[in-house]
Structure 1
């Protein structure tokens, strides 16, 4: 318990510099922990910090609410929250937005743990694993804010951290991980860092590298189309092939990857944030945040799917959802999109709180919806063994994304990516296949396969569609919204940070 208390204290002073922060070196020195204990504990912390991706108030909503997939309508007094959810969908956030500030703390907390592990003389394998986490959190921060406070190995916690800019941070994240890649374990367990996990991250970083390089001198992000270098795209293909040669295969049932026992029955999960019924996690939020009060389980009646997403599916695509053993027979819920009249496990119609039929509609009002408005989504199924502490592991990387990244990279090099796309669609049981797939096809296929998984903002930015109008956001928005503002509290504690243009 002592080690985790120390790490909690140190993470609080993540990348600021205060009088207390200057005492942090001494605090850690006096902790009584060996360097090995610190390394071990900080690797645990870096992994545990991934649970913040399961929370609807941190980075997940920053990657989903401003896109063509998700929104959080206000329902009378419910879900108003000072307009925070509307601001995300309308691209009207500012540097004091609570979701942006919360995500900043979570991401940099993970980065601190990785750097502190590297600072305490890890062995080669531990160094490689800590470096993976460092690259992962640098990549995430670069994607969201275009700036990354970074402490050089060996520097004092009392010094102000330097700041990596968007164009250099991605190179550092890639180069440091490639330098230690050979020292990573060779296993394939989804709850630990290994070569397959690192290869997936490297593919994703190379795929997005051109986006971060396309930045004006003052830090303003460019909108594209981006200059994707063939050498980078070949790296994507190579790293994807490394993963595709591993012991993974696409699920026979798409929704098995999100079931309460997903990593036990799963065959395509490469990396996940582990949960169980004893220690919990935040994954219950994924069904509570969308389900109506009178569903089973009763939810918070919040987030909805956009018709922009739903209309990309045809009726023959199993990924749109349907009955699932252990779900539909227990509660009446279906997987995927919930639209129209809702039923209980016996087939009886469910009513809303006013006694009217509970029928979810495609339409909703961002500012003033009644409680039945908006389609709901069940991606992660409720764990009826423990609804508040579900055992579903949260998927970070899975094989389907690897097929899609390879297809995109092949297309950007001028090739025909129908092969990997059709492997995926055939495995999913989709009737139609591609001949001569386009980039637009790939973006839509990423939506159909990866919806509500936390990648959509990144994908839309890369395909230059992020600023376009969508349902309940009728206007195009300025390119400064491609990255988020640096939180006001972070600017006040680190003079090396500067506010992003437009904020």
Structure 2
């Protein structure tokens, strides 16, 4: 890559902070001259890399927390004050966030920054030589910008549409319906110019199929976003992907491998995924840190953990010295609610998706029990005997429920072994044994082929016209036949489909979106009693309101 491209990335990243505020008064400058404008596909891609880097940093942290912790799928409690973090996580669970919430502010800033960076890059590309490479690059940028505005549409409703660089100044909010129309028109305009190839050459990049998947998601939620259903349009977008023949549902034996540290373009379900790499410092996927019980570091080789030369039945967790033992302890604060787990993962013992959970007694690979060293008081902080300092070991047990000892007001469970072992843990994104840091190399899929099939099934059930000989039942069974050895379903309802989506897309950032569309987001679950419907969208952050005086707060939230 020419040195000019490296310099440009620095300049454009510096300008990004300004663009995300929608207030540009500085005349834009570029290091490009006519002889160094990008001309080849590789050169265009090298410049756009910064946008993908921003997306990677955004998706598995702020976006994950906002989408998952505000649903019934995940909870991050407090452990004796650990992970209180300004109550940000428990506010998401209880639906009592406000306009100063840290993660909500983060996702607002992230999505607007990605859109702003797309604007800047398109401004640079406009003077590049015309040709197929330029047309494809512009289409890719339009799709990435549409994705950012789809996120804003989905999370915040009415938002400013700032699509010009240099910006003419701060913009008032467009209506949600107007943002919907903008995203739709951008994707449709981009489709003819996007790449259709799949595999390693386009992995992690925008393609025609990614744009169609986003269109399908947009249309499936059209009634929520814009007030009118577009189920036939959703079906058409799904059909474009299905008819391509480029994708397939992974079999039962490889379903969980899709999310492993060795996943990648070889998996036929991936339509659009975000690649992660432990060697990079910009963009973390470290689900192991959040999801593994803190006594399971060695079993899953978390962050370089190793049992050394011990045999498994000699290892006692919480003892970190001797014979080469390295015991890195994951934080392990995230879990699911027993109601969610029991509703979707206990009725079919033949479903491979059950295997993404850790619950009950835990064992080493050779079947030996995982024993943990502590004291009586360390095991139970409420132990009142005089021998509280007496050493003890116990067989690690991950409890499926949060006991009544949990403080319902603060969601603080205490800081002992009982507390840290409460809550079913998810290892769908399997810990990366080859990483010496908490960062993992598991790529995160945003759109998978199974989602296309289930979206089409849902659109049919909601009144769309069936096509290509498919029925809602046949489409759901295409997915289920690759997940369970149990008999195929003989009927399917919207409630059945809602449950199937819970099983299929756990931990993949779709639960909040699904709950809102199915009218479940206001229900009571876990420690949430708030049923306010206005919380289907998040508040405009204080920082954004201060920067842009034309913004108005979303309904229900105080200014």
Match of 2:250 in 1: 251
1:431-450 to 2 correspondences below 5 Å: 431-450=486-505
* SS of equivalent to 2:442: coil
Match of 1:385 in 2: 434
Kept after mapping to 2: 8 A contact 1:95/1:485: yes
Query: TM-score, with normalisation over the residues of structure 2?
Result: 0.79
- TM-superposed CA distance for 1:31, in Å, is 7.4
Q: 1:481 aligns with which of 535, 550, 558?
A: 535
* SS of equivalent to 1:395: strand
Distance 1:176 1:265, change over 3 A: closer
- TM-superposed CA distance for 1:5, in Å, is 1.7
Match of 2:91 in 1: 87
Kept after mapping to 2: 8 A contact 1:15/1:494: no
Measure, in 1, the Cα distance between the counterparts of 2:266 and 2:166: 46
Kept after mapping to 1: 8 A contact 2:78/2:412: yes
Match of 1:177 in 2: 187
Q: Deviations over 1:152-181 (max 9, x none)?
A: 33x533621343321210111011210221
Measure, in 2, the Cα distance between the counterparts of 1:119 and 1:31: 12
* SS of equivalent to 1:396: strand
Measure, in 2, the Cα distance between the counterparts of 1:304 and 1:485: 26
1:63 and 2:70 are equivalent in the alignment = no
Task: Flag structure 1 segments of 5+ consecutive residues without an equivalent.
Answer: 215-226, 323-335
- TM-superposed CA distance for 1:446, in Å, is 0.3
1:14 and 2:19 are equivalent in the alignment = yes
Measure, in 2, the Cα distance between the counterparts of 1:255 and 1:361: 23
Q: 1:206 aligns with which of 214, 219, 230?
A: 219
Distance 1:390 1:152, change over 3 A: closer
Task: Flag structure 2 segments of 5+ consecutive residues without an equivalent.
Answer: 1-5, 129-133, 303-328, 379-392, 414-418
Match of 1:344 in 2: 364
Q: Deviations over 1:317-353 (max 9, x none)?
A: 434343xxxxxxxxxxxxx111112223343324275
* SS of equivalent to 1:22: coil
Kept after mapping to 2: 8 A contact 1:7/1:42: no
- TM-superposed CA distance for 1:88, in Å, is 0.4
Measure, in 2, the Cα distance between the counterparts of 1:260 and 1:44: 22
Question: How many residues matched?
Answer: 468
Match of 1:156 in 2: 166
Match of 2:412 in 1: 368
Query: TM-score, with normalisation over the residues of structure 1?
Result: 0.87
Per mean C-alpha deviation after superposition, the further-off stretch among 40-49 and 119-128 is 40-49
Per mean C-alpha deviation after superposition, the further-off stretch among 363-372 and 462-471 is 363-372
| Aligned alpha-carbon RMSD (Å) | 2.3
Distance 1:255 1:479, change over 3 A: same
* SS of equivalent to 1:12: helix
Q: Deviations over 1:184-203 (max 9, x none)?
A: 11111332211111111111
Distance 1:423 1:472, change over 3 A: same
Match of 2:233 in 1: 235
Match of 2:198 in 1: 188
* SS of equivalent to 1:149: coil
Distance 1:50 1:137, change over 3 A: same
Distance 1:204 1:169, change over 3 A: same
Q: Deviations over 1:433-490 (max 9, x none)?
A: 32231111111100000011001001100011101001222x2421110000111001
Measure, in 2, the Cα distance between the counterparts of 1:317 and 1:387: 35
Kept after mapping to 2: 8 A contact 1:51/1:282: yes
1:103 and 2:107 are equivalent in the alignment = yes
1:491 and 2:545 are equivalent in the alignment = yes
Match of 1:222 in 2: none
**Is the radius of gyration larger for structure 1 or structure 2?**
2
* SS of equivalent to 1:112: helix
Distance 1:394 1:17, change over 3 A: closer
Measure, in 1, the Cα distance between the counterparts of 2:274 and 2:487: 34
1:318 and 2:372 are equivalent in the alignment = no
Measure, in 2, the Cα distance between the counterparts of 1:32 and 1:283: 35
Match of 2:458 in 1: 408
